Chains A and B, each alone.
Chain A
């Protein structure tokens, strides 16, 4: 008692970390992510076997790797989600700087693994794609800048973040990695929209996109052919898209059965870009709808929680993270069902891939940290008679 009174024994001032975390974290999103990861492992059991066989590994070599990386990703996610938004911001800015430097160093130290684009660092046992880590970092930095611009006498954060986004997009386009570049731009756009983009600008932009698109369609033959190929309902069944489409049809509502699928043997990217086709073939529409519902609930729930958020930085950063996560999944699945033109993009948490998993874990951890329940000045408002 004496010690406590005189402060000789350190007394925890607030609530202990873990119970507080459990009380405030968005348990729905957390569960959705866990389930997605489980589905990823389940599909990996089917989809990565041909690749393992081709590379002379044990049949479930990639599944084990996925489990190890996934475990690391989940731990990273949990740890990140326990941090306070301020700590997340500090670490994310540091991480962003590190990833940015890593991207600058890619042309000198990176490898392309024979795929024609220098995007990776090879570490021997694994490879790291710094752009995966850059995305969440960029979102936080941009959100910080935009939030700062809303202060009175604040810096011109919106234009600064646009310049930063431009620099990153150019760097990524040089690799070339247009997918990630588009994601970065999209993330910035969503944040700018939520941060209060003027309506006129949005309308003008939409008009410009339509005009530019039709201009490109009319003047560039290459562009026109790609769009025509995409609009044309007849797809050549020997392309990746054709295989994927046929796999979805073969699967029907309940699938052809576990391990019975054929598409994984013909698709080189069955374990990454077209894993949804494997899911559709073996487990049918049911599992696909479950996966879609999981992604939708993560995104929509996070956005709904952010609606109540008072702090502009948290709101913007959370929105950016949720949007990038959601749109990445959307593009991946949209390509498989031919709603979108072909573009390689992984399905977060489900596709195989070490650095994308861990970066995804960190990003979702940040999202969880931002969407935690925290006082939003409700009592204050009640006092001021504006409570609801």
Chain B
């Protein structure tokens, strides 16, 4: 080290003495040092590269060895036997509010094969195809004669099939005990129950896990051995649910609708007594999720909860109630309804011309968009937003089924004054029928918020107060008048004093704009109107009927008659006695003028 710098220094001094340029020597010196460094670096890198190469080689060798090890081991018989102990067998039942069974378990067997033990693979395959015609004989022969050591043939077989397979008498065919989920009522309440399928599967047992509905939400509860098999009690009433499904199905067919939904809710407890979405499915044989077409056309789609629609004029009562709550109007305040109402480039029109001015009650009874929009202008966007939020219309429905996470309402991106005006009559906001039922329940029970639930409750909910009892009563009076003298005259069911509001909203096209020949027709009602016990919301998807020489699509002609028939059938089942309506109801409005 010492010699390298010294020698050139000597050379440089020497060169200086001779009058030569020392820079050349300096450069040469640098070059030499550089070369030496490079050689050193190269020698070091040589060693390190060798180390690196060996490391890479070893790593690859380890991977190869591990591959070899795995390849030479047996494939797991779908589950190691040791872990079978972890599979919890018993799954608790699900019952309705009166303890009637909605879902229970059923013992059955699975069928599997161990080809190495098989004696006559060809005959076995032939016999199996005779018992299970959906199996493919060639495929079975191939599997049985190939290298496979294990294969499942059927996940669930009936006792008769089991006996028949047993009679084949081949030692290569084996049975595993299974417990399967059974829904004895078939399609009934299919969207609430959801369905179950096998989870971890072993030879000795298989775990049944919920895949949708309450089965999935309460999966842990139903499987928890600590609960001691206590059944899960729902708020549904089997009888009411069955009747509702039948009536709604008939109504859907009569009104040529492609789908329908209904929600029947106890206004005090928030319990959902019946919730129907048509078309439905059989949870015993749950269909696969659709891979083509719109997902909301699938029978799996729960229209009552997942289906967020613009529900149209049913929203008007919220606007009227809020305007009264804020003291801006009373039921007989007269509002200018001269149309069309212009707002920027938008025009708001009524279905018919209802004259230059109407009272608030009449606005609801006639269903005037202009009048409601004027009320919304008086209320303002911010206060409207708060009110709807307090009714629970701005968040997803807190219902105990997994599908409830798909019920997030569609709200306008910015809540401008024009959105406030359209939202006042139910356009520009999409909520599910379940949301609407809960909001109507708040009006029906005297003004406190209701959160819908599918679990049986014993006590009423005392939710946050949304409006005063007086405003709620006045709103109910208006709803009653909609039936007695307004758009929902078909809803009159003698003895049950139905009050409600119709709503017909044009369906939005998937790419923007609205269809002019497809509507969502909704009727949100409560009965008996003077002291409501239940709220019933009926929604028909694209109904169309022919009456009085015209094609009718509005709710008054479609959803209302269906709802009336449902009330007619369900109210007695719910234990409500037909009552003579108290006479004063009409009288109070007269004197309050």
- Contact check, A248 vs B70: say whether CB atoms are below 8 A apart: yes
Q: Interface with B: A30-38, A60-68, A305-313, A360-368, which one?
A: A305-313
Closest to B75 in A: A249
- How many B residues, CB 8 Å from partner? 41
- Contact check, B37 vs A280: say whether CB atoms are below 8 A apart: no
Which one of B42, B46, B67 contacts A280 once the chains associate, using CB atoms below 8 Å? Answer: B67
- Contact check, B75 vs A250: say whether CB atoms are below 8 A apart: yes
> B34 in the interface, Cβ–Cβ < 8 Å?
yes
- Contact check, B30 vs A152: say whether CB atoms are below 8 A apart: yes
Q: Interface with A: B49-57, B216-224, B363-371, which one?
A: B49-57
- Contact check, A234 vs B80: say whether CB atoms are below 8 A apart: yes
Which one of B38, B60, B71 contacts A248 once the chains associate, using CB atoms below 8 Å? Answer: B71
- Contact check, B80 vs A249: say whether CB atoms are below 8 A apart: no
A291-326 to B contact mask, C-beta < 8 Å, 1/0: 011011001100110110110100100010001001
A232-268 to B contact mask, C-beta < 8 Å, 1/0: 0010111000000110111111001000000000000
- Contact check, A152 vs B73: say whether CB atoms are below 8 A apart: no
A310 CA to B147 CA, complexed, in Å: 55
Closest to A310 in B: B42
- Contact check, A330 vs B59: say whether CB atoms are below 8 A apart: yes
Closest to A334 in B: B63
> A289 in the interface, Cβ–Cβ < 8 Å?
yes
- How many A residues, CB 8 Å from partner? 49
Residues of A within 8 A of B41 (CB): 150, 195-196, 312
> B495 in the interface, Cβ–Cβ < 8 Å?
no
- Contact check, A337 vs B76: say whether CB atoms are below 8 A apart: no
Residues of B within 8 A of A236 (CB): 200
> B45 in the interface, Cβ–Cβ < 8 Å?
yes
> B227 in the interface, Cβ–Cβ < 8 Å?
no
Residues of B within 8 A of A339 (CB): 62-63, 66
> B78 in the interface, Cβ–Cβ < 8 Å?
yes
- Contact check, A299 vs B44: say whether CB atoms are below 8 A apart: no
**Closest Cβ–Cβ distance, residue B230 to chain A (whole Å):** 29
Which one of A151, A152, A256, A319 contacts B52 once the chains associate, using CB atoms below 8 Å? Answer: A319
In the complex with contacts A248-B71, A249-B75, A285-B68, A307-B45 CB distance below 8 A: yes
Which one of A194, A248, A251, A304 contacts B45 once the chains associate, using CB atoms below 8 Å? Answer: A194
- Contact check, B78 vs A299: say whether CB atoms are below 8 A apart: no
Residues of B within 8 A of A252 (CB): 71-72, 147
A383 CA to B68 CA, complexed, in Å: 52
In the complex with contacts A237-B76, A315-B45, A330-B59, A337-B50 CB distance below 8 A: no
- Chain B at the A interface: mostly helix, strand, loop or mixed? helix
> B79 in the interface, Cβ–Cβ < 8 Å?
yes
**Closest Cβ–Cβ distance, residue A245 to chain B (whole Å):** 7
Residues of B within 8 A of A304 (CB): 49, 53
- Contact check, A288 vs B45: say whether CB atoms are below 8 A apart: no
Which one of A195, A249, A293, A296 contacts B56 once the chains associate, using CB atoms below 8 Å? Answer: A296
- Contact check, A303 vs B49: say whether CB atoms are below 8 A apart: yes
**Closest Cβ–Cβ distance, residue B54 to chain A (whole Å):** 8
- Contact check, B76 vs A249: say whether CB atoms are below 8 A apart: yes
A112 CA to B34 CA, complexed, in Å: 50
**Closest Cβ–Cβ distance, residue A151 to chain B (whole Å):** 7
Which one of A151, A195, A245, A295 contacts B70 once the chains associate, using CB atoms below 8 Å? Answer: A245
A383 CA to B74 CA, complexed, in Å: 64
Closest to A296 in B: B60
A299 CA to B70 CA, complexed, in Å: 25
> A110 in the interface, Cβ–Cβ < 8 Å?
no
Residues of B within 8 A of A165 (CB): none
> A333 in the interface, Cβ–Cβ < 8 Å?
yes
In the complex with contacts A152-B34, A310-B42, A333-B63, A194-B76 CB distance below 8 A: no
Closest to B33 in A: A152
Residues of A within 8 A of B67 (CB): 248, 280, 285, 288-289, 292, 333, 337
B278-314 to A contact mask, C-beta < 8 Å, 1/0: 0000000000000000000000000000000000000
> A190 in the interface, Cβ–Cβ < 8 Å?
yes
Which one of B38, B48, B61 contacts A194 once the chains associate, using CB atoms below 8 Å? Answer: B48
> A44 in the interface, Cβ–Cβ < 8 Å?
no
Residues of B within 8 A of A238 (CB): 200
Closest to B74 in A: A249
- Contact check, A300 vs B56: say whether CB atoms are below 8 A apart: yes
- Contact check, A299 vs B53: say whether CB atoms are below 8 A apart: yes
> B584 in the interface, Cβ–Cβ < 8 Å?
no
15 contacts between A and B (CB under 8 A): A194-B49, A237-B76, A238-B200, A246-B75, A249-B74, A251-B71, A252-B147, A285-B71, A296-B56, A296-B57, A299-B60, A303-B50, A304-B53, A307-B45, A319-B52
Q: Interface on A for B, CB 8 Å cutoff?
A: 150-152, 190, 193-196, 234, 236-238, 245-246, 248-253, 256, 280, 284-285, 288-289, 292-293, 295-296, 299-300, 303-304, 306-307, 309-310, 312, 315, 319, 323, 326, 330, 333-334, 337-339
The 3 A-B residue pairs with the shortest CB-CB distance, nearest first, are A249-B75, A296-B60, A303-B53
Given contacts A280-B67, A300-B57, 16 further A-B contacts (CB under 8 A): A150-B41, A152-B37, A190-B52, A237-B78, A237-B79, A238-B200, A253-B72, A285-B68, A292-B63, A306-B49, A307-B45, A307-B46, A312-B38, A312-B42, A315-B45, A333-B67
Q: Interface on B for A, CB 8 Å cutoff?
A: 30, 33-34, 37-38, 41-42, 44-46, 48-50, 52-53, 56-57, 59-64, 66-68, 70-76, 78-80, 83, 146-148, 200
